[in-house]
Every structure is written in C-alpha cells, then in structure tokens.
C-alpha cells in the first residue's frame, strides 16, 4: 500500500500526526489514546498496514 493512501485512511479514521521522528512519524488516535509509528517508505507492506490499523484501533 502506498504511504499516502495509508495516511488518508488514518486521518479518515480520526487519527492525527502527533510528531515527526527521524525515520518514522507518530500518529495517534484521540478516541482511545493509542499511538503507532508510520515508516517513511513510499510502499508499506500489507501486513504492516494491518498491524498499524490494529494498534490504532481502526
């Protein structure tokens, strides 16, 4: 999955960019207070996308 598409899905699900890291951006879900790192690769594996969405509760 493309990184931009993942970020659009996260924002649509209510998440926001909490902060920039060196190699990852941290997104947070204010509904449940959970956070997850998003790598800065252009293409992200589907298994990692599922893990990120599960961590954020989407």
CA distance 55 to 49: 10
CA quadruple 17, 20, 23, 28: dihedral positive or negative? negative
CATH number of 3-56: 3.30.920
Instruction: Walk along the chain (58 residues) and give the pLDDT tens digit of each residue.
Output: 999 999 999 999 999 999 998 999 999 999 999 999 999 999 999 999 999 999 999 8
Please, how many CA atoms are within 13 Å of residue 26, restricted to the half-sphere of its CB? 10
Task: Decide: 32 and 57 in contact? Cβ < 8 Å.
Answer: yes
Domain positions in the chain are 3-56
The per-residue pLDDT for 9 is: 95
């Amino acid at each position: 999955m493309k990184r931009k598409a993942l970020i659009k899905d996260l924002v649509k699900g209510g998440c926001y960019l909490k902060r920039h890291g060196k190699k990852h951006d941290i997104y947070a879900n204010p509904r449940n207070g959970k956070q997850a790192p998003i790598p800065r690769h252009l293409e992200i594996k589907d298994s990692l996308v599922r893990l990120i969405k599960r961590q954020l509760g989407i």
